[in-house]
Structure 1
Amino acid sequence: MIDLVYFAWVRERIGVDGEVLLLPPGAATVGDLLDWLATRSPGHAAALGDRAAIRVAVDQAFVGLDAPVTDGVEVAIFPPVTGG
C-alpha cells in the first residue's frame, strides 16, 4: 500500500485530497506510478498530464521521476511552489 496526498489544483482536478492504494505491478519509479495514476480517471489525467507542472515528494523528500517507489511510502503530488 502507498499513501498518496494531493495538494492545491492537483487535489481539485482529481477530486480528493488523498488515496491509499496498492502499488500497481510494474510501478517501480515515481514516473511509472504517475503514468498509472493518469489512467485512473479523467481528473487524474488532467492533473498529471503535464509533468513539468507538478512536483513529487516521497516520504517528504523531493524526488525526480526516476526515484524508486516501494510499498509503505507516502507520495505527495503538488504544483511547484512560487513566491516573490
Structure 2
Amino acid sequence: MAIRVQLDQMLVQRRMSLTELADRVGVTVANLSILKTGKARAVRFSTLDALCRELDCQPGDLLVHVPGPAEPVQDDPDADA
C-alpha cells in the first residue's frame, strides 16, 4: 500500500509505549499494533484525532505517501463517506 503509518517513529520520539498510548486514546493495544505494523486497511478520523491529540502531532506526521505502482480501488459499501 502506498500509505505508510509512522506510529513507531512517533512513539520513539515521544518516549511512549504502545500500551501507554492505547490507554490514553482508548483503543486496544492489538488495534494499535495492527495500525503500527501497516496491516490496517482503514483508520477512523476519531482515532486519528485522538492519536494526534495524545502524540501532539499532525496527521501528516503519522501518515506518509510512498509512491509506487497504483493499486485498484475497491468499492466498500460499508464505508463511511
Flag the structure with higher helix content.
2
Q: Taking structure 1 as the reference length, what is the TM-score of the superposition?
A: 0.28
- Rg: which structure is higher? 2
Higher strand share: 1
